[in-house]
A and B are shown apart, each in its own frame.
Chain A
Amino acid sequence: MALDSKIPAGPLADKWTNYKNKVKLVNPANKRKLEIIVVGTGLAGASAAATLAELGYKVKSFCFQDSPRRAHSIAAQGGINAAKNYKNDGDSVYRLFYDTVKGGDFRSREANVHRLAEVSVNIIDQCVAQGVPFAREYGGLLDNRSFGGAQVSRTFYARGQTGQQLLLGAYQALERQIGLGNVKQYSRHEMLDLVVIDGKARGIIARDLVTGELERHFGHAVLLCTGGYGNVFFLSTNAMGSNVTAAWKAYKKGAYFANPCYTQIHPTCIPVSGDYQSKLTLMSESLRNDGRVWVPKTQADAQAIREGRKKPTDIAEGDRDYYLERKYPSFGNLAPRDISSRSAKEACDDGRGVGKTGLAVYLDFADAIKRLGRDVIEARYGNLFEMYHHITNEDPYEVPMRIYPAVHYTMGGIWVDYELMTSVPGLYALGEANFSDHGANRLGASALMQGLADGYFVIPYTIGSYLSGEIFTQAIPTDHPAFEEAEKNVRDRISTLLSINGKRSVDDFHKELGKIMWDHCGMARNAEGLTKARTMIRELRDEFWKDVKVTGTADSFNPDLEKAARVADFLELGELMVLDALNRNESCGGHFRTEYQTEDGEAQRNDEQYTYVAAWQFNGLDNDPTMHKEELIYENVQLAVRSYK
């Protein structure tokens, strides 16, 4: 199948308006007859489900947590971008568009990003109307802060809990529709397969996680709003339950998976403290405004610190390497995420890392405290310092923080066209689950924007284009053979998992996979490592199906089984990520191939050959997937080299 991105014709700034003027509508009487399945209740899913129900569609909403309010979006801290220009500092829709395309290292679709920037202003209006308590100035108007990759203040925030407040707004809108009977909510339900009939998405198989019962649900359309797959690395800043299963089942039923290798690794996270570690905690990027990043100049000093013979304060000023300031004098400690992360890794690979494990660098506030006083630092970062102290039992006012990069966000995801429809008609992907707007690197505060844009303002229009052709389609009874077969496959997979009765726990396998991914498909990749990783993943997958031990039964509440099924899919996804990383013989954004760097170690893009989206089609596990290219056409911005020297 050829990839048709369905980008509307016309000038960039008019595309979305023209599209909305022409898109087919569904009349209210017909909407009532059309059923939509929304999987996921994060910002993307909750906003989509609520809005579609308000329009009159019959909606079923699913999440695996015990309440839609607990989707992983709840954990976002920093803020959400919008081109409101309330600060009068020169912001505009075009600038937000341009910053996002540049931040993505020129690997995203112009038309999508422009639409995102356009609707960003409506998002803020909608959220305020819902009662989202954004931060305000004394005059009562909305406050903004600055974020990485931009020279204007366009980030709206609600203390350090922006994601929570935005999600509660969407959740409350969703609960309102549930109360009105327009949405039926299925919490503690996990989608375990997609049902495709005559080439169209027609429903899902879901497991009731409390009873273990498998259920069949029909829908005229299915929306996947199931988040990112960063947990393929085992350790990440994602919530424990975040997983790829829904997207992966869709991939295996014909939806293309785009740019799976684009992963964002965030530079400032609390380092791993031991092999029992279950997840990593993000420390806000804002700390780099006042903190200075360093490691000892010599391996000997670093070793002395690791062994506890020296303290960081024992290292004289002249014996410290403030490597970001040294390498990037004009951006210094505020170098972008991908570059800062890679530099930290280089320092540690060089044997100069600190902390017991040697996998940490210092983020030091001593100078700032001397210059500004402890009070100022406390006012700026008090809650973050407290959180750090609480987790590590070290006081960052006295000793420098230890930080290390961690997996944070996945730019890759299910391929979608301009209408957010996947390569399977009737199947859509929204939010972090799709690949669409962030290219090879996401800017801070744009994921929340994208999730809400997709759910509140894009899908309610674009879905009409498809559903207007479905008004004569009767609900398909769920005893249809396609439902039977999908359910049988799920049932068989579950009973296989339970019957292996091997010796290793699911976590054992997950940790091993995470290590392979981190070592070979993490911050720096090369052909040799990736090729090796592919073999290792295959072997690990084989071993998993021979030696995993899953306890409990299929027909009961069984978190061990849930985890096993998710890890089984991660073991397949990992191989695709490696393949995609091998294919892309260039460095761009979050994808750094060591073979492709400039003389001074910077990423080297290859625009001539790789200005495209790699969309992979599944051909069975034993065969290589087929790659479809969507060429990215830049009509409005000029491709440029990102430099931060």
Chain B
Amino acid sequence: MNFKLRIWRQADSKSNGKLVEYSISDVNPDMSFLEMMDVLNDRLVKEGQEPVAFDHDCREGICGMCSMYINGRAHGPMKLSTTCQLYMRNFEDGETITIEPFRSAAFPVIKDLSVDRTAFDRIIAAGGYVGVSTGQAQDANAIPIEKHHADMAMDAAACIGCGACVAACKNSSAMLFVSAKVSHLALLPQGQAERKTRVLNMVEQMDEEGFGSCTNTYACEAECPKGISVTNIARLNREYIKASFSGD
């Protein structure tokens, strides 16, 4: 297969970037998208040009590191898939593929396709945990949890923190990410003690990081590789209102 690639090149966070064209031929349809990028980079290196910087690690759709905006979609054309899980057979021979970084004011570009998502870590540090120190736990089976609740908590906990929801949203809202963590912990008995402070602190940090507000377009859910549902956003809103108006 042959492709024309238009790739965002930007030297660092201070420089301006632009789309640069490359062509690539003899691509095996069984190659993954990132392997196609490896082949391109290997060629660029041998030609003495700087390879395209992009983030990746597990290449199995679980670490949340890969983050490309492909043909106008976060993680590209496949539903429920990360960038690293795309294969070249998912594209048309001869197609022009435009590759950009995840864009958001809260995710500044570091170089080319790599962005800084540490804002997500700071939101978790603000309250996305159960405050139990090592050694303070009781026997694990002392807390029975209804299977249905445990399963719903697991659905929410499956978020990989990739940021596609932010990149997909015209407002750059991080509500899907935040709601996934708030839901995971609010659904479990272990999360009850800090239920109110957690949601208030996480939302406050989210606002401070410069993420936009949610206007219910659901673009986030459509692009989320892990199928995190927007019902979590509804739960976040309820949790937030309850916490804001409670007396204590």
Interface of A toward B, CB cutoff 8 Å: 47, 50-51, 54, 65-70, 72, 74-75, 84, 86, 122, 124-131, 133-142, 158-159, 161, 164-165, 168, 171-173, 175-176, 178-179, 185, 187, 210, 239-241, 273-274, 276-279, 281, 390-393, 456-457, 460, 503-508, 549, 551-552, 556-560
Determine whether the beta carbon of B42 is less than 8 Å from that of A179. no
Contact with A along B115-153 (1 / 0, CB 8 A): 011101100111111111111111111011111001001
Asked if B34 is at the interface of the complex by the 8 Å CB criterion, the answer is yes
Interface of B toward A, CB cutoff 8 Å: 11-12, 28, 30-32, 34-36, 38-39, 41-42, 44-46, 48-51, 53, 55-60, 62-65, 85, 87, 89, 110-111, 114, 116-118, 120-121, 124-141, 143-147, 150, 153-154, 157-158, 160-161, 184-185, 188, 190-191
Determine whether the beta carbon of A505 is less than 8 Å from that of B157. no
Q: A138-B147, A176-B125 are in contact. Are A239 and B59 (CB under 8 A)?
A: yes
CB distance from A212 to the nearest CB of B (A): 10
User: What is the interface of chain B mostly: helix, strand, loop, or mixed?
Assistant: loop
Chain B positions within 8 Å of A456 at CB level: 134
Chain B positions within 8 Å of A507 at CB level: 38, 42
Determine whether the beta carbon of B134 is less than 8 Å from that of A50. yes
Determine whether the beta carbon of B110 is less than 8 Å from that of A503. no
Bound: A279/B39 CA distance, A: 14
Select one of A241, A278, A549 contacting B35, CB under 8 A.
A278
Chain A positions within 8 Å of B134 at CB level: 47, 50-51, 54, 126, 173, 456-457, 460
6 additional contacts (CB under 8 A) given A172-B124, A173-B129? A51-B133, A65-B63, A66-B116, A125-B139, A133-B150, A239-B57
Chain A positions within 8 Å of B44 at CB level: 551
- Give me 10 A-to-B residue pairs in the complex whose CB atoms sit less than 8 angstroms apart, sorted by A's number: A126-B137, A129-B130, A133-B184, A134-B150, A136-B147, A168-B157, A173-B129, A176-B125, A276-B31, A552-B50
Q: A142-B141, A503-B46 are in contact. Are A67 and B128 (CB under 8 A)?
A: no
Determine whether the beta carbon of B150 is less than 8 Å from that of A65. no
Bound: A618/B114 CA distance, A: 38
Determine whether the beta carbon of B121 is less than 8 Å from that of A133. no
Determine whether the beta carbon of A172 is less than 8 Å from that of B130. yes
Closest 6 CB pairs of A and B: A140-B144, A179-B125, A172-B129, A129-B137, A125-B137, A133-B154
Q: B31, B39, B133: which has the most chain A beta carbons within 10 Å?
A: B133
Nearest B-chain residue to A240, judged by Cβ? B57
Q: A133, A240, A276, A278: which has the most chain B beta carbons within 10 Å?
A: A133
Q: A67-B118, A133-B154, A133-B157 are in contact. Are A122 and B137 (CB under 8 A)?
A: yes
Chain A positions within 8 Å of B12 at CB level: 556-557
Determine whether the beta carbon of B128 is less than 8 Å from that of A137. no
Chain A positions within 8 Å of B30 at CB level: 273-274, 392-393
Determine whether the beta carbon of B46 is less than 8 Å from that of A549. yes
Total CB contacts across the A-B interface at under 8 A: 214
Chain A positions within 8 Å of B63 at CB level: 65, 70, 72, 74-75, 239
Nearest B-chain residue to A553, judged by Cβ? B50
Chain A positions within 8 Å of B89 at CB level: 393
Q: A86-B141, A175-B125 are in contact. Are A559 and B59 (CB under 8 A)?
A: no
Bound: A128/B118 CA distance, A: 27
Q: A138-B147, A172-B129, A505-B46 are in contact. Are A276 and B28 (CB under 8 A)?
A: yes
Q: A140-B147, A557-B12, A557-B114 are in contact. Are A131 and B57 (CB under 8 A)?
A: no
Select one of A54, A210, A276, A508 contacting B133, CB under 8 A.
A54
Determine whether the beta carbon of B125 is less than 8 Å from that of A128. no
Determine whether the beta carbon of B153 is less than 8 Å from that of A557. no
Determine whether the beta carbon of A66 is less than 8 Å from that of B130. no
CB distance from B92 to the nearest CB of A (A): 16
CB distance from B126 to the nearest CB of A (A): 6
Bound: A549/B110 CA distance, A: 23
Bound: A73/B170 CA distance, A: 33
CB distance from A55 to the nearest CB of B (A): 9
Bound: A74/B63 CA distance, A: 6
CB distance from B209 to the nearest CB of A (A): 14
Chain B positions within 8 Å of A240 at CB level: 56-59
Q: B28, B38, B137, B144: which has the most chain A beta carbons within 10 Å?
A: B137
Select one of B31, B121, B130, B141 contacting A130, CB under 8 A.
B130
Nearest B-chain residue to A551, judged by Cβ? B50
Select one of A130, A136, A391 contacting B129, CB under 8 A.
A130
Select one of B85, B145, B184 contacting A136, CB under 8 A.
B145
Bound: A204/B102 CA distance, A: 33
Chain A positions within 8 Å of B57 at CB level: 65, 70, 72, 239-241
CB distance from B72 to the nearest CB of A (A): 22
Bound: A312/B134 CA distance, A: 53
CB distance from A92 to the nearest CB of B (A): 16
Chain B positions within 8 Å of A129 at CB level: 130, 132, 136-138, 140, 190
CB distance from A158 to the nearest CB of B (A): 6
CB distance from A165 to the nearest CB of B (A): 6
Determine whether the beta carbon of B110 is less than 8 Å from that of A187. no
Nearest A-chain residue to B34, judged by Cβ? A278
Chain A positions within 8 Å of B145 at CB level: 136, 140
CB distance from B48 to the nearest CB of A (A): 7
Bound: A393/B88 CA distance, A: 11
